[in-house]
């Protein structure tokens, strides 16, 4: 950032130190992933060898075929289920929360304070309180072991409403008033004026919701049990239980779970990281 | 399904109501109607999966509520009392799991606040490859807890894991049981959690550092402030609002730790690393003692809310001391 060049030697030293730290960190973050990749292509014996092989001596795709041929471990299905669950839930959150937040930010109606107060107060309820009752409710709705169980209940949290309301309050009202004078209804104003202006906030909320669902472990482990309905976290737990120390299988499963995600992430990296980084600034 | 139908209803309503030029009274009335329609889809979700389960949870905790039994007798506060005075069969396991939760929280939160900040400070400059590094440190979070835990269980294996191998190469003990003995199981769980989520906090810090105006640093430098003084008097105050956010999010995440322990140590050795969430889920969803489990979640939440209050007021106090903003 600074432009003064009082001390070129010091600056160079600082830069070397900086790249040194970044280099060590990179090694810490990348090498475990490379080792996972390597083990996925090892034979049973090589994967259990105490001498680490960074490059498999007898490369084989045996682990992948074993997993993919096993009906009990449909890893690709798990991946699709996870993407669907996280994608649908974040869409549901963005859609319902933006509508509700807009009403709370811009419209006057009897009971507004009460509604807002009740919604906000639930931000302070630790979600574990809802775990057992939500399980029973999900069960009564007949949603156990279905996609609905990992999409709908988790979309009810108040964070999205709170977050978007803050954002809408910061938008200038003139544009909406102009649209209303042109005869646009509320919904049209909302869809054609407010939402386009709110893209950064919607992306942030969508990304946070996606990542939260993607990383959720407890709920899917208990509400999804048959192999074809499981999401990745639940499925990998099953895979691990069945194969305790058959690490070549576990690593192959982890690789199948990771590679598509990392490719997607590499492509959308800017949106993901920037979406998350804005959460702190607005919060 | 309910929400899309409700949205369609809202759309239809708005399309019909949109044409007439509204007077002030009509405007307010249509405001109210629109507001309720806009709120409806969310409120359906909110009522069904937040308000109802909350009340239902209180109700369950007052019953001997076994999912698999036909009779669910009212027991008043017995579930709570039993967990407090030792008469519940879950007394020992519950309080041990509470202790495990605090151990993990106290060990992990400081590291998760400080290490990402250091990483963010190192990266808070324009240099080549900055975004690549940032994306790389964030990557484990994208992989998810299951991949991360399965991977590290392999690396930490006492016989064939990389960690013990390289410790041996360095001439250190190479037979540590990282996941099945104490304190190593805690150290592993905390270390893996840091590896998994460091990037998340770092990215948030980094964005906040970018918002601190450069001329504040310039001015401090003119005044002869040392690097530490600049950090103390410019960086930290600039980070304060974000620190509250990062601290709360990190505490909540640590207190709710479950996946790492479930996948890496299975709560062991014994039940030493079985956290409160783990215990609550196991009691309610595996043993189907929903009443006891619901009471546990209330007691747990009581403590969690106390902690949140303390954090909140700590930051508020400092903010008023600090003067403007």
C-alpha A282, offset from chain centre: 19
Which pLDDT value is given to residue A92?
Answer: 98
Chain-chain contact of B305 with A107 (C-beta, under 8 angstroms): no
Which pLDDT value is given to residue B20?
Answer: 44
Per CB-CB distance under 8 Å, the chain B contacts of A28 are 195
Test the B interface: residue of A49, A132, A159 with most B CBs within 10 Å: A132
Which pLDDT value is given to residue B290?
Answer: 92
Which pLDDT value is given to residue B19?
Answer: 42
End-to-end CA distance of chain A: 26
pLDDT mean over A245-252: 90
Per CB-CB distance under 8 Å, the chain B contacts of A244 are none
Q: Name the least confident of A35-39, A119-123, A151-155.
A: A119-123
Test the A interface: residue of B44, B48, B147, B161 with most A CBs within 10 Å: B147
Which pLDDT value is given to residue B245?
Answer: 86
pLDDT mean over B152-179: 94
Q: What is the share, in percent, of chain B residues with pLDDT greater than 70? A: 88
In the predicted model, is pLDDT for residue B128 greater than 50? Answer: yes
Under 8 Å CB pairs connecting chains A and B tally to 310
* pLDDT interval class at B324 (50, 70, 90): very low
Residue of B28, B38, B207 with shortest CB distance to A102 = B38
Predicted TM-score (pTM) of this structure: 0.87
Per CB-CB distance under 8 Å, the chain B contacts of A49 are 160
Closest alpha carbon within chain B to A279: B204
Contact A102, B38 (CB under 8 A): yes
Which pLDDT value is given to residue B191?
Answer: 97
Q: CA nearest B141: which of B207, B205, B209, B192?
A: B192
Give the CA-trace dihedral at A18, A31, B182, B193, to 10 degrees. Answer: 70
Which pLDDT value is given to residue B126?
Answer: 80
pLDDT per residue as tens digits for the range B168-191? 999 999 899 999 999 999 999 999
Which pLDDT value is given to residue B21?
Answer: 47
Per CB-CB distance under 8 Å, the chain A contacts of B217 are 1-2
pLDDT mean over A243-268: 87
pLDDT per residue as tens digits for the range B3-27? 444 455 444 444 444 444 445 566 6
Which pLDDT value is given to residue B5?
Answer: 46
Which pLDDT value is given to residue B188?
Answer: 97
Mean pLDDT of chain B: 87
Q: How far is B40 from chain A (nearest CA, A)?
A: 8
Chain-chain contact of B137 with A272 (C-beta, under 8 angstroms): no
Residue of B46, B151, B242 with shortest CB distance to A156 = B46
Chain-chain contact of A136 with B290 (C-beta, under 8 angstroms): yes
Chain-chain contact of A269 with B135 (C-beta, under 8 angstroms): yes
pLDDT per residue as tens digits for the range A109-144? 999 999 999 999 998 888 999 999 999 999 999 999
* pLDDT interval class at A270 (50, 70, 90): confident
Which pLDDT value is given to residue B25?
Answer: 61
Residue of A104, A127, A273 with shortest CB distance to B203 = A273
Which pLDDT value is given to residue B203?
Answer: 92
Q: Is B296 exposed, middle or buried (0-12, 13-18, 19+ CB in 10 A)?
A: buried
Q: Count CA atoms closer than 13 A to A37's CA, side-chain side.
A: 10
Residue of B49, B147, B162 with shortest CB distance to A258 = B147
DSSP line for A192-224: IIIHHHTHHHHHHHHHHHHHHHHH--HHHHHH-
Q: How far is B71 from chain A (nearest CA, A)?
A: 16
Question: Residues B9, B11, B16, B21: is their CA dihedral positive or negative?
Answer: positive
Which pLDDT value is given to residue A123?
Answer: 87
Residue of B51, B135, B263 with shortest CB distance to A240 = B263
Tokens in use for B44? 């359906």
Per CB-CB distance under 8 Å, the chain A contacts of B52 are 133, 137
A67/A70 Cα distance (integer angstroms): 5
Which pLDDT value is given to residue B262?
Answer: 94
Chain-chain contact of B150 with A236 (C-beta, under 8 angstroms): yes
In the predicted model, is pLDDT for residue A24 greater than 60? Answer: yes
Chain-chain contact of B57 with A188 (C-beta, under 8 angstroms): no
**Prior bond to B228 cis, omega within 30?**
no
DSSP helix/strand/coil, B103: helix
Q: How many helices (H) and strands (E) does chain A have?
A: 15, 0
């Amino acid at each position: 950032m600074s432009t003064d060049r009082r001390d070129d030697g010091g600056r160079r030293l600082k830069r070397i130190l900086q790249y040194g730290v970044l280099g060590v960190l990179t090694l810490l973050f990348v090498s475990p992933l490379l080792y996972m990749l390597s083990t996925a292509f090892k034979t049973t014996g090589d994967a259990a060898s105490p001498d680490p092989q960074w490059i498999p001596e007898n490369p084989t795709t045996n682990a992948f075929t074993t997993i993919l041929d096993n009906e009990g471990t449909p890893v690709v299905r798990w991946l699709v289920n996870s993407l669907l669950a996280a994608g649908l839930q974040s869409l549901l959150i963005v859609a319902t929360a933006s509508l509700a937040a807009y009403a709370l930010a811009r419209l006057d109606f009897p009971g507004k304070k009460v509604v807002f107060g009740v919604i906000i107060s639930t931000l302070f309820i630790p979600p574990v309180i809802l775990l057992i009752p939500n399980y029973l409710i999900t069960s009564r709705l007949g949603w156990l072991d279905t996609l609905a169980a990992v999409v709908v209940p988790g979309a009810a949290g108040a964070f999205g409403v709170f977050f978007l309301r803050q954002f809408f309050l910061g938008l200038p009202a003139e544009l909406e008033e102009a649209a209303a004078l042109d005869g646009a209804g509320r919904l049209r104003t909302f869809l054609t004026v407010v939402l386009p202006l709110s893209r950064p906030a919607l992306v942030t909320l969508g990304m946070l919701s996606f990542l939260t669902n993607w990383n959720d472990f407890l709920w899917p482990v208990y509400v999804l049990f048959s192999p074809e309905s499981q999401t990745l976290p639940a499925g990998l737990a099953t895979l691990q239980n069945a194969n305790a120390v058959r690490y070549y299988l576990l690593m192959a499963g982890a690789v199948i779970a990771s590679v598509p995600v990392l490719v997607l992430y590499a492509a959308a990296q800017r949106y993901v990281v920037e979406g998350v980084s804005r959460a702190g600034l607005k919060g | 399904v309910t929400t899309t139908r409700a949205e369609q209803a809202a759309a239809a309503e708005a399309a019909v109501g949109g044409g007439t030029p509204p007077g002030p009274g009509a405007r307010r009335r249509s405001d109210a109607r629109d507001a309720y329609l806009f709120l409806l889809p969310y409120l359906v979700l909110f009522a069904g999966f937040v308000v109802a389960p909350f009340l239902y949870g209180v109700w369950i905790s007052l019953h001997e509520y076994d999912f698999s039994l036909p009779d669910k007798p009212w027991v008043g506060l017995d579930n709570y009392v039993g967990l407090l005075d030792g008469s519940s069969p879950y007394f020992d396991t519950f309080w041990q799991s509470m202790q495990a939760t605090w151990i993990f929280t106290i060990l992990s939160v400081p590291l998760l606040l400080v290490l990402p900040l250091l990483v963010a400070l190192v990266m808070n400059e324009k240099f080549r490859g900055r975004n690549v590094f940032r994306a790389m440190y964030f990557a484990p979070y994208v992989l998810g807890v299951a991949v991360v835990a399965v991977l590290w269980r392999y690396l930490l294996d006492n016989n064939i894991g990389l960690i013990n191998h390289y410790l041996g190469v360095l001439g250190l003990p190479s037979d540590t049981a990282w996941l099945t003995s104490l304190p190593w199981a805690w150290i592993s769980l905390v270390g893996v959690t840091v590896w998994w989520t460091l990037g998340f906090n770092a990215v948030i810090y980094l964005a906040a550092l970018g918002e601190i105006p450069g001329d504040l640093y310039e001015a401090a430098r003119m005044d002869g402030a040392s690097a530490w003084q600049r950090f103390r008097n410019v960086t930290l105050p600039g980070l304060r609002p974000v620190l509250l956010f990062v601290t709360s999010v990190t505490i909540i995440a640590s207190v709710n730790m479950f996946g790492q322990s479930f996948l890496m140590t299975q709560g062991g050795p014994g039940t030493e690393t079985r956290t409160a969430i783990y215990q609550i889920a196991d009691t309610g969803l595996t043993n189907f003692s929903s009443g006891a489990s619901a009471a546990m979640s209330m007691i747990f939440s009581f403590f969690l809310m106390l902690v949140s209050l303390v954090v909140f007021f700590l930051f508020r106090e400092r903010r008023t001391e600090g003067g403007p903003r």
